[in-house]
């Protein structure tokens, strides 16, 4: 048996923030003091280790001195209390307008998962993304012009196209924001999204980009250059909170997991 000391590379104030949320949650549900195997801070460390290192829950529970079932229960509780702090889309858009942002950026990503079941009407796997050639859930991201992640949607099965997921979770609110002077920039996966959602014009099939009018090419270039910063939103969350690279919990939990990571990300600074 070899004993060693490990360091969790998360700012202490992030762990303290989560511990306060957990402590408040325990009081709300009437948990007696000292009745849990772990205090709020140690539970927060378990949750943060899972998010940061994509750790095995069995190993995390063993290190914390609790059973695997308790480890899973503590992890899900931590995810829930964090996800409850995630901002509403309307609140985010209102804040963007108050801060005078010129636009917001909408993009989608696949959060990979391996615990999947479901079949579409055509017989294909519900959670399989043909675009990414992988199983997982479709999550929509909204980011600021500088690429700061602002909001994430609930999860849709991986077979759901970005435009469909956006219509379910984002477009109604984005239309209202656009009417008040806050447009949205997206990629070609959102063609047909509607007024106020700026998408590059697709070149004619079988022809080069030069077939487009000069003004159209310039507009496409401008949208791409501004939108490129929005690619940081998903990348930043996935690299900082590595559990998002491959979720081993139920795929229906992906939305809550990503919202929890968004809240943690906002506390990092």
DSSP labels for 137-179?
EEEEEEE-TT--EEEE---EETTS-HHHHHHHHTHHHHHHHHH
Residue 2 pLDDT more than 80?
Answer: no
Does the pLDDT of residue 208 top 90, yes or no?
Answer: no
Give the H/E segment covering residue 47. helix 40-53
pLDDT of residue 39: 92
254-266 pLDDT, tens digit each: 999 999 999 999 8
- Give the CA count within 13 Å in the CB-facing half-sphere of 137: 28
* Calculated CA dihedral for residues 133, 139, 145, 146, nearest 10 degrees: -70
Lookup: tokens for 41: 């801070």
Per-residue pLDDT, averaged over 86-114, amounts to 94
The pTM assigned to this predicted structure is 0.90
Confidence of residue 115 (pLDDT cuts 50, 70, 90): low
Banded model confidence at residue 236, pLDDT cuts 50, 70, 90: confident
Q: From CA 196, how far away is CA 254, in angstroms rounded?
A: 29
pLDDT given at position 117: 67
Q: Name the percent of the chain lying above pLDDT 70.
A: 93
* Residue 4 in this model has a pLDDT that exceeds 70: no
For the chain, the structural domain boundaries read 12-83, 89-247
Q: What is the pLDDT of residue 160?
A: 93
Highest mean pLDDT among 26-35, 84-93, 119-128: 84-93
Residues 50-77 have pLDDT tens digits of 999 887 899 899 988 999 999 999 999 9
- Residues 134-169 have pLDDT tens digits of 899 999 999 999 889 999 999 999 999 999 999 999
Residue 118 confidence (pLDDT) above 80? no
| Residue 97 to residues 119, 144, 178, Cα–Cα distance (Å) | 41, 11, 10
pLDDT at 42 exceeding the cut of 80: yes
Whole-number pLDDT of residue 213: 73
């Amino acid at each position: 048996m070899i004993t060693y000391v490990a360091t969790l590379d998360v700012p202490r104030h992030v762990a303290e923030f989560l511990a306060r949320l957990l402590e408040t949650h325990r009081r709300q549900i009437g948990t007696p003091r000292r009745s849990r195997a772990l205090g709020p801070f140690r539970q927060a460390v378990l949750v943060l280790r899972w998010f940061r290192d994509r750790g095995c829950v069995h190993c995390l529970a063993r290190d914390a001195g609790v059973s695997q079932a308790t480890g899973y229960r503590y992890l899900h509780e931590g995810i829930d209390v964090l996800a409850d702090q995630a901002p509403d889309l309307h609140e985010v858009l209102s804040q963007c307008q108050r801060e005078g942002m010129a636009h917001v950026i909408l993009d989608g990503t696949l959060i990979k998962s391996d615990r999947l079941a479901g079949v579409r009407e055509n017989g294909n796997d519900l959670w399989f993304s043909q675009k990414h050639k992988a199983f997982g859930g479709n999550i929509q991201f909204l980011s600021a012009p500088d690429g700061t992640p602002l909001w994430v949607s609930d999860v849709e099965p991986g077979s759901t196209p970005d435009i469909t997921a956006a219509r379910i979770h984002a477009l109604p609110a984005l239309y209202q924001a656009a009417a008040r002077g806050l447009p949205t920039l997206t990629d070609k996966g959102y063609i047909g999204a509607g007024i106020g959602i700026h998408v590059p014009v697709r070149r004619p099939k079988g022809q080069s980009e030069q077939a487009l009018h000069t003004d159209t090419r310039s507009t496409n270039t401008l949208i791409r250059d501004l939108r490129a910063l929005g690619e940081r939103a998903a990348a930043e969350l996935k690299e900082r909170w590595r559990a998002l690279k491959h979720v081993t919990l139920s795929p229906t939990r992906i939305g809550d997991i990503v919202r929890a990571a968004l809240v943690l990300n906002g506390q990092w600074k």
